[in-house]
């Protein structure tokens, strides 16, 4: 069994143009990985978001393994005067940045004006990282700081069911195959419910068995789910693992070793993921609380929902 992973070209990040102060910064927050191809795939997803919405300031952040940490990126947006060049919050230390007024540069020793931020978790279910790391990253920074809010995880969403079904079709799944949806796993029950909702949607789209296995923190494990599916196989059937993972990395490597006959490619990048990211951003940006003295119509403007 072999699975081909497409690599995406990497290079220096493009120079960030000035964006209107009224548009919240979109912070795409992924788990982080030491896998270089996985890093490129997540970067390609964010590049697709930038291409779809060139008017937005899109930044990258992580909850583990890679830097910058999501809380530091949020601070650099909503309270830039408290951000050091290394990304850590340092009271009173100014850094250069975007101009406070479009078209009017600020002195190099002046801090940029605070802006609003929306963190979009590049995670498929609402587990620990969404409920704790991302949620804590958007706490109020106090007087004078910009507003920050966290969007829900990317899943569940019907478009993810369609995307996973397409990955199965690309892998040549047959009607007599047993499918195991392989998710990363979480200690939080809500994450398992999100995955089960995805699996239920997949059952509506194909004949045959669809079960779920997890990479960590939940049961059954992917190897156990594969073994159970194989025990119930019809003659001539195969066990096909549908990798419910955004990119190559630690969990995908474990899925490849779980004993399946076929493993699908990860989900990203894909235009449907781009649309989901922008929808999560738009819904959350529109719900940002309106500061006192500001026109309430501003917060209700749709920053660009993608259907």
Dump pLDDT digits (tens) for 137-160.
999 999 999 999 999 999 999 999
For 180-221, what is each residue's pLDDT tens digit?
A: 999 987 777 767 899 999 999 999 999 889 999 998 878 999
Name, in order, each residue with C-beta under 8 angstroms of 169's C-beta and a sequence gap of 6 or more.
Answer: none
For 240-282, what is each residue's pLDDT tens digit?
A: 999 999 999 999 999 999 999 999 999 999 999 999 999 999 9
Cβ–Cβ contacts within 10 Å for residue 67, how many? 11
Domain boundaries, the chain: 25-154+270-299, 158-263
Res 109: pLDDT = 55
CB 64 within 8 A of CB 157: no
Name, in order, each residue with C-beta under 8 angstroms of 105's C-beta and a sequence gap of 6 or more.
Answer: 99
Structural fold of domain 158-263: Rossmann fold (3.40.50)
Structural fold of domain 25-154+270-299: Rossmann fold (3.40.50)
> b or e along 162-190 (b: 16 or more beta carbons within 10 Å of the residue's beta carbon)?
ebbbebbeebebeeebbbbbbbbbbebee
φ, ψ of residue 130 to 5 degrees: the values are -70, -45
Q: Kindly report the average pLDDT of the chain as a whole number.
A: 83
Omega before 269 within 30 of 0, i.e. cis: yes
CB 115 within 8 A of CB 59: no
Q: What is the mean pLDDT of residues 84-88?
A: 45
The reply to whether 25-154+270-299 and 158-263 are identical in fold is yes
φ, ψ of residue 180 to 5 degrees: the values are -115, 120
pTM above 0.85, yes or no: no
On the question of pLDDT at 57 being above 80, the answer is: yes
Tokens of 115: 């802006």
């Amino acid at each position: 069994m072999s699975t081909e992973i497409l690599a995406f070209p990497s290079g220096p990040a493009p120079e960030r143009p000035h964006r209107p102060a009224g548009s919240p910064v979109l912070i795409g927050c992924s788990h982080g990985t030491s896998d270089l191809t996985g890093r490129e795939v997540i970067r390609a997803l964010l590049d697709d978001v930038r291409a779809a919405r060139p008017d937005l300031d899109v930044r990258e952040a992580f909850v583990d393994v890679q830097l910058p940490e999501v809380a530091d990126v949020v601070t650099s947006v909503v309270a830039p005067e408290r951000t050091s060049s290394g990304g850590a919050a340092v009271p009173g230390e100014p850094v250069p940045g975007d101009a406070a007024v479009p078209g009017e540069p600020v002195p190099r020793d002046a801090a940029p004006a605070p802006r609003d931020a929306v963190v979009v978790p590049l995670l498929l279910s609402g587990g620990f990282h969404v409920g704790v790391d991302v949620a804590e990253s958007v706490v109020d920074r106090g007087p004078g700081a910009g507003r920050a809010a966290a969007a829900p995880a990317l899943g569940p969403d019907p478009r993810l069911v369609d995307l996973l079904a397409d990955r199965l079709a690309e892998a040549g799944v047959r009607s007599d195959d047993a499918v195991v949806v392989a998710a990363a796993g979480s200690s939080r029950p809500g994450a398992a419910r999100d995955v089960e909702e995805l699996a239920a949607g997949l059952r509506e789209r194909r004949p045959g068995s669809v079960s779920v296995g997890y990479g960590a923190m939940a049961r059954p494990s992917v190897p156990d789910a594969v073994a159970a599916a194989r025990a119930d196989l019809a003659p001539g059937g195969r066990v096909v693992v549908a990798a419910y993972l955004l990119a190559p990395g630690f969990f995908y490597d474990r899925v490849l070793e779980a004993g399946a006959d076929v493993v699908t490619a990860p989900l990203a990048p894909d235009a449907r993921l781009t649309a989901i990211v922008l929808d999560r951003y738009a819904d959350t940006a529109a719900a940002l609380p309106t500061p006192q003295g500001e026109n309430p119509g501003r917060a209700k403007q749709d920053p660009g929902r993608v259907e």
